[in-house]
Amino acid sequence: METSPGPPGGRILNKAYYRGAISGGAWWILPPIFGIVSLALGFALMGLALDEIANPRLRRRM
pLDDT at 21: 64
Per residue in 1-60, pLDDT (tens digit) is: 556 666 676 787 777 777 776 666 667 677 888 999 999 999 999 999 898 888 878 776
Q: What is the C-alpha separation between 29 and 12, in angstroms, rounded? A: 7
Q: Is the pTM of this model over 0.85?
A: no
Instruction: Give me the pLDDT at residue 39, please.
Output: 95
- Tell me what pLDDT residue 40 has: 97
Give me the pLDDT at residue 55, please: 83
Within 13 A of 16's CA, how many CA atoms are on the CB side? 19
Q: In terms of DSSP H, where are the helices of 1-62?
A: 9-18, 21-24, 30-54
